[in-house]
């Protein structure tokens, strides 16, 4: 995860900022009503069912709806719901943790630890996003996660990986989801696919000659 910049579109967490059409987007009231009367013990399984049966393109928005509802009705169970969604749909682990942290910031440490345990491959992303949405630093969250799961995580490594990620909320052009791109190493103009520094511009291999595309030019002027 080092030397990577993570651009996470927070718009995916709100209904109004997704690029899903109205027909694909489940009605918020329907989603919320499905959670009415559900006990705290049944919330995780019910939430997973709601998310997994939603259209693929609208699942991030559904996760946001679910987390806001749980934060209002069963805040003490929100980390269990996050863990269940993250385990069932690892690609939504960061989204679930972020939505829960935004809706219930006072429990961000427990939320982050639960999400990281359920989807350890997303741990650095989870910490970076949760720290961006709350007042808790990624290093503090890393310590909490490592303390809760010492056999899985190292606080130092996790904090370093999270610190290597840049979170921004102004990447709406990406149309939701996660975009990962390499950070340019200091003192260089870029890097190779292997991660090595590039300090000099590429050299021309020859003078070059204009090409001819028969599909483009052959009949275009006729």
The answer to whether position 182 is within a domain reads: yes
| pTM, full prediction | 0.65
Domain containing 150: what range?
4-200
pLDDT of residue 32: 74
**Considering the domain boundaries, does residue 205 fall inside one?**
no
In a domain? residue 210: no
Domains of the chain: total: 1
Q: In 17-122, where does DSSP find H-type helix?
A: 28-33, 43-52, 59-73, 78-88, 93-103, 108-118
Per-residue model confidence (pLDDT) at position 166:
72
174 by Cβ neighbours in 10 Å (0-12 / 13-18 / 19+) ranks as middle
Asked whether residue 17 is assigned to any structural domain, the reply reads: yes
Structure-token match 């997973």, residue found: 48
Please tell me the predicted confidence (pLDDT) of residue 52.
93
Q: State yes or no: pLDDT of 7 exceeds 80.
A: no
Is 220 part of a structural domain of the chain? no
In a domain, 211, yes or no: no
CA gap 92, 60 in Å, rounded = 7
Q: Tens digit of pLDDT for each residue in 174-203?
A: 334 444 444 444 555 565 655 566 667 666
Residues 49-98: tens digit of each pLDDT = 999 999 988 899 999 999 999 999 999 999 999 999 999 999 999 999 99
Cβ of 221: how many Cβ atoms within 10 Å? 5
Angle at 141 between CA 136 and CA 146, to 5 degrees: 165
146 lies in a domain? yes
Instruction: Classify residue 72: in a domain, yes or no.
Output: yes
């Amino acid at each position: 995860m080092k030397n990577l910049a993570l651009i996470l579109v927070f718009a995916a967490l709100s209904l109004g900022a997704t690029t899903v059409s109205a027909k694909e987007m489940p009605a918020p009231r329907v989603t919320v009503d499905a959670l009415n009367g559900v006990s705290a013990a049944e919330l995780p399984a019910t939430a997973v069912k709601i998310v997994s049966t939603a259209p693929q393109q609208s699942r991030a928005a559904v996760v946001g709806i679910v987390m806001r509802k749980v934060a209002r009705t069963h805040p003490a169970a929100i980390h269990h719901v996050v863990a269940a969604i993250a385990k069932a749909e690892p690609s939504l682990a960061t989204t679930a943790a972020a939505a829960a942290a935004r809706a219930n910031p006072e429990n961000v440490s427990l939320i982050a630890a639960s999400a990281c345990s359920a989807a350890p491959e997303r741990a650095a992303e989870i910490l970076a996003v949760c720290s961006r949405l709350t007042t808790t630093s990624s290093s503090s969250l890393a310590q909490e996660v490592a303390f809760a799961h010492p056999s899985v995580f190292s606080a130092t490594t996790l904090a370093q990986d999270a610190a290597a990620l840049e979170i921004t909320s102004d990447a709406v052009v990406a149309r939701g989801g996660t975009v990962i791109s390499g950070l340019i190493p200091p003192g260089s103009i870029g890097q190779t696919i292997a991660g090595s520094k590039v300090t000099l511009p590429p050299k021309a291999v020859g003078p070059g000659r204009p090409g001819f595309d028969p599909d483009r030019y052959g009949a275009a002027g006729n």
